[in-house]
Structure 1
Amino acid sequence: MLSDCLSAEGERRCRRLLAGVTARVRTQPAAAAVLVPLCLVRGVPALLYTLRSSRLAGRHKGDVSFPGGKCDPTDQDVVHTALRETWEELGLAVPEEHVWGILRPVHDQQKATVVPVLASVGPLDPQSLRPNPKEVDEVFTLPLTHLLQTQNQGYTHFCQGGHFRYTLPVFLNGPHRVWGLTAVITELTLQLLAPGTYRPQLASPELHRG
């Protein structure tokens, strides 16, 4: 049952499975960290996403992402980066004790390390959030049941110089297409939360290394 992933037993299982990576990665330097907010929307387990402002500078403007951003020298560690950025972007305060752990880091095309931090934010009404318009155009959630349906899952093959380079997952049929590193992190999250249900058809090992 998907609801079990938010039960006390499900939380303990996830914390246990993430403990090793969390201990190893938490204090290591990284370029950025994102929060993967696991929430309950009208009683249904879901993940919370943002649509980055189209007015931002850089190549990721207008992309679907998890709340997060660059690590600041004043941040204690990557967990605090993710929590700080979530507050700054969404006005959502997530207590540190709600953090379950760190998923395997992923790397962008510039080989910069992005650290995903999984946290349970409990019951949430996305309409109650007040996103910072300078950073976020929209906030939306996708139920785990939606993400786990095979008709909503796909893969994109990337080529460079006429040669196949790598394959990334993509999640379809929601308010916005979830792709790129955000889709990779979504895949890692589903593998953790629903190991008996989510079976990726293809792997992208070069982006899954931690």
Structure 2
Amino acid sequence: MLPDGLSAEDEQRCRRLLAGATARYRARPAAAAVLVPLCLVRGAPALLYTLRSSRLAGKHRGDVSFPGGKCDPEDRDVVDTALRETQEELGLAVQEEQVWGILRPLHDRQKATVVPVLAGVGPLDPPSLRPNPEEVDEVFALPLAHLLQVQNQGYTNFCQDGHFSYTLPVFLHGPHRVWGLTATITELALQLLAPGAYQPRLASAKLPAG
């Protein structure tokens, strides 16, 4: 079980473990970046999610996601992209010093590189946020304790051309189901934040190659 809050030692451990990846991936080109906001909700550590607007174009409208989006040429790097997008989507200003580091970049189904940026945003009341209604329908947080309960974890098998292709984790029993790339990023965050407390349901769970 996790304590009620993550300690300064936990933060330093995570920053230290992410330092190599952060230096390696920060300046590399990527298609998109997302912020993985680690917050405290009523004193309990939680991850903050968004429900993408149903008015957006594309197949990802209405999906659960982390705040983020495409990298702009004006962005200094992927961290800048993640912080800018979070400000635009949620009105939440996250400072660069709050960034703990970069998790392992992933590829979406179009094989575009998506870079997850982990940041500690401190105490937060999700209903008090005023998200951009053009981009976000809802903001909600899931406590790490909820995500770590086995009964709230599952997996989804994906098929391509009628054949089994790959497996991704899914997190259940919250306000909305967390699945797809967002669930995979959640899994990476849990493995870092709660070593030993989270065991992937399938050791072979993986994204499509690319």
TM-score (norm 1): 0.96
**Runs of 5+ consecutive residues of structure 2 not aligned to the other structure:** none
**In structure 2, C-alpha distance between the alignment counterparts of 1:4 and 1:21, rounded to whole Å:** 28
Q: Matched residue of 1:6: which SS?
A: coil
Whichever residue aligns with residue 152 of structure 2, its letter is: N
Question: Which residue of the partner structure matches residue 55 of structure 1?
Answer: 55
1:193 pairs with 2:193: yes
Q: Structure 1's 116 and 66: CA in aligned 2 closer, same or farther, altered over 3 A?
A: same
Instruction: For residue 148 of structure 1, report the CA deviation from its aligned partner.
Output: 0.3
Q: Shift of residue 6 of structure 1?
A: 2.3
Distance 1:92 1:175, change over 3 A: same
Distance 2:208 2:138 in 1: 27
Per-residue deviation at 1:4? 7.7
Q: In the alignment, what sits opposite 1:101?
A: 101
Give 1:201 shift: 2.0
- Contact between 2:167 and 2:207, CA under 8 Å: does it hold in 1? no
Distance 1:5 1:72 in 2: 35
TM value normalised by structure 2: 0.96
Residue deviations 1:14-59 (CA, integer Å, cap 9, x gap): 0011011100000000000000000000001100000000000111
**Hey, what does 2:28 align to over in structure 1?**
28
Contact 1:5 1:193 in 2 (8 A): no
Q: Deviations over 1:140-178 (max 9, x none)?
A: 000000000000000001111221100000000000000
Residues 168 and 207 of structure 2 are in contact (CA less than 8 Å); yes or no, is this contact kept in structure 1?
no
| Structure 1 runs not aligned, ≥5 long | none
Matches of 1:178 and 1:13 in 2, distance apart? 27
* Structure 2 residue 131 is the aligned partner of structure 1 residue 131: yes
Shift of 1:204: 2.7
Q: Does 1:204 align with 2:199?
A: no
Structure 2 residue aligned with 1:77? 77
Higher helix share: 1
Counterpart residue number, 1:88:
88
CA distance change for structure 1 residues 156 and 68 in 2, over 3 Å: closer, same or farther?
A: same
Q: 2-side partners of 1:66 and 1:81: how far apart? A: 13
Question: Displaced runs of 4+ in structure 1, greater than 2 A?
Answer: 1-6, 203-209
